[in-house]
Structure 1
Amino acid sequence: MPDTLILGFGLGKDVFVSGSSKYPQEFRREAVALARSASRPLAQVARELGVNHETLRTWVRAADRAESAAASGGDAAERELRALRKRVAELEKEKEILRKAAAYFAQEMDR
């Protein structure tokens, strides 16, 4: 078996990752970070990690989608915040108008 780099454990001989498709989340996160930062091809990084290159590619794509969804969720939150602030301003204007109207009618009743 070739030398295999196991994230968090360093370079070791005869160390293998279970053939199961269930890799720990921390391993996946570190593998994605390494794949993104490496100047080497994805297939080479996958080989060094001891995972199939398509598996690593799938993890990278999933991370990209998750980050994209999180970013667009931030935009949605900002839009909602602007809309809510606008609504608060409208309600404050309405409250002020009603306060003035109540004061006016209270004066009229005293006459």
Structure 2
Amino acid sequence: MSNKRYPEEFKIEAVKQVTDRGYSIADVANRLDVTTHSLYAWVKKYGPDSAEYKAKSDEQLEIRRLKKELKRVTEERDILKKAVYFANQSD
């Protein structure tokens, strides 16, 4: 039995095939040439009920919020730059 190491992205994608796409664990394990035991462990670690999944979801929400805020602040800055330009032109 070999102790293969798989990248985290590979594990997450395997879990998505089970949780999001509805494939059976045995089917996914067979196709990806991993043990069902490993896949069950990955589902437990990376699945929708895991703390790590919830933490990543929270991080994604924070990233979206920050991107919206950055867009708003950038627009405000651009408006102020134009206002300064026009104020200097009228002098």
> How far off its partner does 1:74 sit?
0.9
1:79 aligns with 72
Gaps of 5+ in 1: 1-5, 9-25, 99-111
Instruction: Write 1 or 2 for the structure with the bigger share of helix.
Output: 2
Gaps of 5+ in 2: 29-35
Number of aligned positions between the proteins: 73
Q: Give me the TM-score of the superposition, normalised by structure 1.
A: 0.49
Equivalent residue in structure 2 for 1:66, among 59, 65, 70: 59
Q: Aligned residues: percent identity?
A: 4
Structure 2 Cα separation of the partners of residues 32 and 61 of structure 1: 14
2:33 aligns with none
Q: CA RMSD in A?
A: 3.1
Q: Structure 2 vs 1, CA of residues 69 and 61 (structure 1 numbering), >3 Å: closer, same or farther?
A: same
Instruction: Write 1 or 2 for the structure with the bigger share of strand.
Output: 1
Amino acid at match of 1:36: K
Instruction: Please identify the structure whose Cα radius of gyration is greater.
Output: 1
